[in-house]
Structures are given as C-alpha cells and as structure tokens.
Amino acid sequence: MKWHVLRPLWVAIGLIGAILVARVFLVPDDFGVHGRNFTYGYHRLGNIQEWKDFPVKYQGREACIECHDENVEALNSSTHTAVECENCHGPAIGHPDDVELLAIDTTRDLCLRCHAFLEYPNSDRAELISIVDRRHRRRKECIACHDPHDPTESTR
C-alpha cells in the first residue's frame, strides 16, 4: 500500500490504542459489574444509590392537610383539583420549619402561565380554559376576583 494510505491508518490505530489505555484509568471500578440487567452492562452500580439519595423537593398535598386543611378541602372540591399546591407555591421541602420559604406570588403571571390564550391553531379548542390577558380585566390581579384555591367563585 502507498504511504498516504498507511499513514492515516497508523494514526487511527494509535488513537484507538490510546483510548483503550485511557479507558483502564478513567472508567470507574463499579462500571458494568452487576450482570446483564442493563443493556450491554453499560451502567455504573453506584448510580442506583446516588438516585436513591437524591433529595426530593416536593411533598404533595397530603402533607399539607395537617395544618392547612381548609386550603386542601377547598382545592380538592374545586375545578383546580388537578393543580398541585406546590405548582403555585413552589417546592415545599423544608416548610414549615422555614415558613419564609414559600413566598406568595399574587401576580397575574402566576395564573397566565397556564391560562394565557396562545395564538396557535386549535388553541381555542384546548381543554384548559384560556383568557386573553389584555382583554380580561387587566387592571387587577386575578385573585381580586378568583380564589386561587377555588377559582369558580368569580366574585370574592
């Protein structure tokens, strides 16, 4: 074979060799040591424990009943029942030890996140009731007229 063919070939072989050597040092010891449960065994055993230790940020509304039963009852029997408390109030881990943690957002943006009418085809047929921000009583906050925990009551 000609040199201009062989030379890149040697470079390629050299590179593959270097990668194989580097692999011995870089791949963690617990990689692929747990049988064939994972495709090709390409999985690091320690990663399972790492995810088990991963701190959960949300509590779910059952955790709120103890102290905020009125809010939970209102929400459960409202059209907002599908919306989680922590969707509006933020992840509650650490609450109530740190009460300041959950700031209350009273802006229109909180609600428009879900209820803003989007200028897309079929948007008017979406299941989530949407409003056009600038045409829907824009001088006031939404919660001046809608209870966030029971929004159907439109006059509070």
Of 45 and 112, which CB lies nearer to ligand HEC in the complex structure?
A: 112
Token pair, residue 116, equals 């803003």
Of 9 and 109, which CB lies nearer to ligand HEC in the complex structure?
A: 109
Closest separation between CB of residue 56 and ligand HEC, Å? Answer: 12
The three-point CA angle 90-96-99 to 5° equals 75
Of 32 and 90, which CB lies nearer to ligand HEC in the complex structure?
A: 90
Is residue 78 classed exposed, middle or buried when 0-12, 13-18 and 19+ CB atoms within 10 A define those classes? Answer: middle
Query: How many whole angstroms separate alpha carbon 89 and alpha carbon 108?
Result: 14
Query: How many whole angstroms separate alpha carbon 77 and alpha carbon 66?
Result: 17
Q: Binder to ligand HEC among 34, 96, 123, 132 (CB under 6 A)? A: 96
Q: Binder to ligand HEC among 9, 15, 50, 59 (CB under 6 A)? A: 59
Token pair, residue 32, equals 């692929």
Decide if 147 contacts 74 (C-beta within 8 A): yes
Closest separation between CB of residue 139 and ligand HEC, Å? Answer: 7
Query: How many whole angstroms separate alpha carbon 113 and alpha carbon 90?
Result: 14
Site for ligand HEC in 102-141 (CB under 6 A): 102-104, 106, 108, 110-115, 128-129, 131, 136-137, 140
Decide if 105 contacts 122 (C-beta within 8 A): no
Of 45 and 101, which CB lies nearer to ligand HEC in the complex structure?
A: 101
> Does 150 participate in binding ligand HEC (rule CB under 6 A)?
no
Query: How many whole angstroms separate alpha carbon 3 and alpha carbon 44?
Result: 43
Q: Applying CB under 6 A, which residues contact ligand HEC?
A: 59, 61, 63-64, 66-68, 71-72, 75, 79-80, 82-83, 85-89, 92, 95-96, 99, 102-104, 106, 108, 110-115, 128-129, 131, 136-137, 140, 142-146, 148-149, 151-152, 154
